Amino acid sequence: MGLKEKMHELKLKYQGKKMAPAFNAFHTFLYAPNETTHSGGHIRAVDDLKRTMNTVILALVPCLIFGIFNAGYQHYSAINGFPAEFSLFEHFINWDNFILGVTTILPLVIVSYGVGLIVEFIFAVIKGHEVEEGYLVTGMLVPLIVPVDTPLWMLAVAVIFGVVIGKEVFGGTGMNILNPALTIRAFLFFAYPTWMSGDKVWVHGAKAGVTQAGSTDAISGETVLGYLAQGNTEGMYAKYDLSEMFFGFIPGSVGETSTFLILLGGLFLIFTKIASWRIMLSAVLGSLAMGLIFNGVVEFGWIPEYSKFYGLMSFDFWQHLIVGGLAFGIVYMATDPVTGSQTNKGKWIYGFLIGFISVMIRVFNPGYPEGVFLAILLMNVFAPTIDHYVVQGNVKKRLKRMKNATILPNVGEEAEQLKAETV
Amino acid sequence: MALLSKKDASLISDPLADNNPITIQVLGICSALAITAELKASVVMAISVMFVLGVGNVVISLMRNVIPSKIRIIVQLIVVATLVIIVDQVLKAFAYELSKTLSVFVGLIITNCIIMGRFEAFALGNGPWRSFLDGIGNSLGYGIILVIVGFFRELLGSGTLFGYPVLGDPIEKTGLYALGYENNGFMIIPPAALIVVGIIIWVQRSRNRALIEEA
């Protein structure tokens, strides 16, 4: 008794009115609806859109929690210096880090969900259809792929742009060509580049000019890729070691630093059959392939050491996977079932090219040493084309098989007629 | 007595809305994307096209009975090229800075589909007065979209209109900038024009559903 019935009554009361989709949405969002369909045959399954979305959100929660602690850890370490002997509970999981993380990251989450859902509601009311659950995952992804100090109004503008231009103009959830979360990220990157790149955005307070303890120098935090893009490979390894990169105690966008937790999330998504392992695996292979090509170029001495690409090209090929947003993009963005390839063979091509192009853009991008979001958006555009050719190839193969099939009568008028039909 | 008959008036009013060369016929997109980062450039471009299309339509219309149809495209090209060179030289002489901003796109008016389209579709079959009105109408329709796009791109991208700061000074941090507002770098780059034109097309077609093409 209680809320569920009340909401159901409200829903019935407003049925057929203009605001009906809004009440419907609240009801479906919180509970399974009461209605059943009466005609036709149906398959009853529990893995509806809402369940799918919730599973992805569940897989994202560890990244969010890690991001909250990491925001505090990076901030206080930048002020007081990094601890010489790192201890997880003493330096990382403590109240100071948690409080700072929550006060900086929770507003991002709230703005992302609030603005995004308002836009969805407005469109649902205008178009008179039900509010779709599509924004639930996007709203969670967005705060995880932006720097901690992103101003909230910028995020709000970007979310409006991303949801309207990335999704609603194409007809809403399920019809979009581009991943809305990445559209939002790309918009932020091109619109406000000073807030999205450089060494002042990844640590809370750096842009505002917070200074180091006992010094007048402002704090800063360069990412691993930032060091490499400047050709400062020794400086990078002096600051971060491989285990820090893998477990994520490095500056970066809120939720993408910990490859370890992303890996766990990815395994969870594969185990629950929500995301495609083909895309993930082929994207990893693609990025390794591109990384190996670059390493080969360096190995053969085809590129001089003073070249501005040397730092990123000489970076060990497999280490590309544990820094930057590559792992996060592969697991949570490339596998988006709406914007990705649908056919199995297509998924291999689509994933491989995402990994391949990501590393390529990362190395050659003049403005900013990262390119995962651009690579995925590019392949989103090509996914339908890939699928088209995979399907056509299949049709052709089957027609050929049918033409050569021995079951058909081989001689006589009937055979000729059949052959003519199948060509 | 009205200045224009109803039929003639529609030659001007139609291209402004329901038969707009950019949003309905989707012609002349190239220059609309390239030069609309500033309002001033948009306005000058619109006026240039108006001159070329208005005069060109009259010239072609006057010659319509003497042009052999086999070489009519070449004749049209010569007319439009002459007019464009006049515009280009005038701009270089009297507004040098602006002509540098518009750079090659003044010259590219020659290849603007709207111009050849109107020569072919209208001036070759109608008298000079009606051709003149048609040219003015179509260039107004082109210009109005340029000005709308230029308005939003300059306002959001640079915080200025016709070069005057309307939102405050971004360096001194006055006006809106004091509140933490920043210019949107995305609006400066040409893809933003494509999106603004797309939004205009979207708004126009949802207001008048008859304009939506059959899929």
- Residue to substitute from B186, B197, B201, interface A, most A β-carbons within 10 A: B186
Q: What residues of B are in contact with residue A191 (Cβ under 8 Å)?
A: 184-187
A194 interaction partners in chain B (CB closer than 8 Å): 182
The count of other CB atoms within 10 Å of the CB of residue A305 is 10
B184·A192 Cβ contact <8 A: yes
Nearest residue in chain A measured CA to CA from B194: A165
- Distance (Å) of CA A65 to CA A70, A254, B16, B75, B182: 9, 10, 55, 71, 30
Q: Cα separations (Å) of B42 from A236, B38, B39, B183, B195?
A: 48, 6, 5, 20, 17
Tell whether A44 is covered by a domain. no
pLDDT digits (tens, 9 = 90+) for B17-70: 788 888 888 888 888 888 888 888 889 889 999 999 999 999 999 998 998 889
Judge whether A156 lies within some domain.
yes
Q: Which one of A192, A196, A201 makes the best mutation probe of the B interface by having the most chain B beta carbons within 10 Å?
A: A192
Give me the number of domains chain A comprises. Answer: 1
Task: Summarize pLDDT for A248-264 with one digit per residue, the tens.
Answer: 888 888 888 899 999 99
A309 domain-assigned: yes
Contact between chains at B180 and A151 (C-beta distance less than 8 A): yes
Q: What is the pLDDT of residues B97-124, one digit of tens each?
A: 888 888 788 888 888 888 888 888 888 8
- Shortest distance between the Cα of A266 and any Cα of chain B, in A, equals 33
Distance of CA B80 to the CA centre of its chain: 16
Q: Quote the percentage of chain B above a pLDDT of 90.
A: 27
| Residues belonging to chain A with any Cβ–Cβ distance to chain B shorter than 8 Å | 151, 153-154, 157, 165, 169, 187, 190-195
Compare CB distances from B185 to A165, A169, A193 and report the shortest one's residue: A193
Q: What is the pLDDT of residue A168?
A: 86
pLDDT of residue B95: 85
Helix axes A372-404, A180-191, angle to 10 degrees: 140
Instruction: Let me know if residue A38 belongs to a domain.
Output: no
The answer to whether residue A240 sits within a structural domain is yes
Its domain, for residue A194, covers: 49-391
In order of A54, A83, A188, A211, the CA distances from A76 in angstroms are 33, 10, 27, 11
pTM over 0.95: no
Residue A158 lies inside a defined structural domain of this protein = yes
Please list every residue in chain B whose beta carbon sits closer than 8 Å to the beta carbon of residue A169.
198, 202
Q: How far is CA A396 from CA A383, A416, B4, in A?
A: 20, 20, 62
CB contact under 8 A, B185 and A154: no
Taking CB atoms and an 8 Å cutoff, what residues of chain A touch B188? none
Tell me B181's DSSP state. -
Question: Which positions in chain A touch B186 (Cβ < 8 Å)?
Answer: 187, 190-191
Residue in A with minimal Cα distance to B196:
A165
CA distance A37 to B138: 54
Q: How confident is the model at residue A418 (pLDDT cuts 50, 70, 90)?
A: low
The CB density around residue A300, as the number of other CB atoms within 10 Å, is 8
Query: What percentage of residues in chain A have a pLDDT greater than 70?
Result: 91
Parse chain B into domains and list their residue ranges: 24-207
Tokens of A107: 């507003």
Check if the beta carbon of residue A248 is closer than 8 Å to that of residue A258.
Answer: yes
* Residue B189 forms contact with A (CB below 8 Å): yes
Q: Say yes or no to pLDDT of A34 above 70.
A: no
User: What ipTM goes with this model?
Assistant: 0.84
Higher-confidence residue of B178 and B83: namely: B83
User: What are the phi and psi torsion angles at A147 (to 5°)?
Assistant: -65, 155
A324 pLDDT more than 90: no
Q: Identify which has the larger pLDDT, A90 or B188.
A: B188
The pLDDT of residue A327 is above 80: yes
- Set of chain A residues whose Cβ sits within 8 Å of the Cβ of B195: 165
Q: For the range B161-164, what are the long-range contacts, defined as Cβ-Cβ under 8 Å and sequence gap of 24 or more?
A: B161/B39, B162/B39, B162/B40, B163/B38, B163/B40
Quote the minimal CA–CA distance from A271 to chain B in Å.
40
Please report whether residue A59 resides in a domain: yes
Any A CB within 8 A of B187 CB? yes
Q: Which residue has the tokens 């406000």?
A: A192
Tell me whether B129 touches chain A (CB under 8 Å). no
Please give the structure tokens belonging to residue A56.
């992805």
Average pLDDT taken over every residue of chain A: 85
Residues 191-210 of chain B whose Cβ lies under 8 A from any Cβ of chain A: 195, 198, 202
Q: Mark yes or no for CB contact B185/A191 under 8 Å.
A: yes
Per the CB < 8 A criterion, the answer to whether B127 and B116 are in contact is no
- Going along chain B, which residue ranges are E strands? 160-161, 164-165
Of A153, A190, A195, the CB nearest to B186: A190
Nearest to A187 among B180, B181, B186 (CB): B186
CA distance B37 to chain A (A): 14
- Are the Cβ atoms of B182 and A169 closer than 8 angstroms? no
Instruction: Return the minimum-mean-pLDDT range out of A166-175, B167-176, B203-212.
Output: B167-176
